[in-house]
Amino acid sequence: MGLEEGPLSHTEIYSSLEYESESETSTGSALPLYTSPLPPPSPPIDSPPPYPNISQINLHEIIQQQQEQLAAMQVQIQALLAAQGGAGAGGEAVGSNRGPHMEVATPAIFNGEAAKVGGFITACRLFLKMKLRGAMVEQQVQWVLSYVQGGSADIWKENVMEELEAGEVEYESAEEFLMSLRKEFGGGEEESVKVAELRKMEQGGRTMEEYVQEFKRAVRGSGYEGRPLIEEFKRGINRGIWRKLMEAENPPASIEQWYQRATALDRNWRESRRKEKRLRKKEGGA
């Protein structure tokens, strides 16, 4: 009975493959029996870019570029804030018009002259209100003292600083301190200076608006009020305006009425003068 050949086992296939490989090596001829095709080559994988060498980067230039970019952004932000700094809802000022963002002039150095004490106190009040509103009273007082220099004011400043450090004096507000400063350097001398300045004032070639403001400044601290104040104002204004107001059917009765009506007359007179000049110039050119 003949033997039937059955399927080869895995072991026999592996043995046959090994034999074929050995035969190819020894004889130099390839035996294609039981060989399987090779898989297609996989596509090349892009290798990641090499990392930059940090030693070749100028760090100073990078930092400088970043700082320039930040500066440019800050400029843009400030421009936007300024553009939005007008009237907000309800007409309330917002943005750069608020205290911390507004430029406020510092007071001039005060050396104790009586004639300058009023202006110095006014400038200090404005700066304290706009820039140092939330500061402690002691800090506000020290800030004012930093502008008191020279003359007799130096000695007074040293005494005040010693009293503050020793706890001998304590101000409840910056306004209380400013009043003590006025009392020290103003007093009767300041009033006499104001009176002398007021009695020498004349309108001259100034507009009435300018003269009224100068007159009001000189009046503060002079002690003038009521009828004497009105007489000083009448004395200083130009004769033409004085005559028109005195000859009016209802002359001004209070100092405020004198301010307003004298200003209106002066404005009308100046406007008529301008029209006459334009008319003469037009006629001359024709």
List, for residues 9-58, the tens digit of each pLDDT value: 444 444 444 444 444 444 444 444 445 555 566 555 555 555 455 455 56
Helix (H) or strand (E) holding 192: helix 187-199
Match 């150095």 to its residue by tokens: 109
pLDDT at residue number 137: 92
166 pLDDT band, cuts 50/70/90, is: confident
List, for residues 126-158, the tens digit of each pLDDT value: 999 998 988 999 999 999 999 999 888 889 999
- The pTM is what? 0.42
List, for residues 221-241, the tens digit of each pLDDT value: 677 888 889 999 999 999 999
Task: Give residues with Cβ within 8 angstroms of 85, minimum separation 6.
Answer: 93, 94, 95, 96, 97, 101
pLDDT at residue number 92: 38
Tokens of 156: 């007074």
pLDDT at residue number 190: 61
Tokens of 268: 């009308």
Q: How far apart are CA 115 and CA 133, in angstroms?
A: 27
Match 């090499």 to its residue by tokens: 50
Domains of the chain by residue range: 114-185, 191-285
Q: How far apart are CA 189 and CA 152, in angstroms?
A: 15
271 pLDDT band, cuts 50/70/90, is: very high
**Four-way CATH pick for 191-285: 3.90.228, 3.30.420, 1.10.1200, 1.10.357:** 1.10.1200
Task: Give residues with Cβ within 8 angstroms of 265, minimum separation 6.
Answer: 208, 241, 244, 245
List, for residues 58-67, the tens digit of each pLDDT value: 655 655 665 5
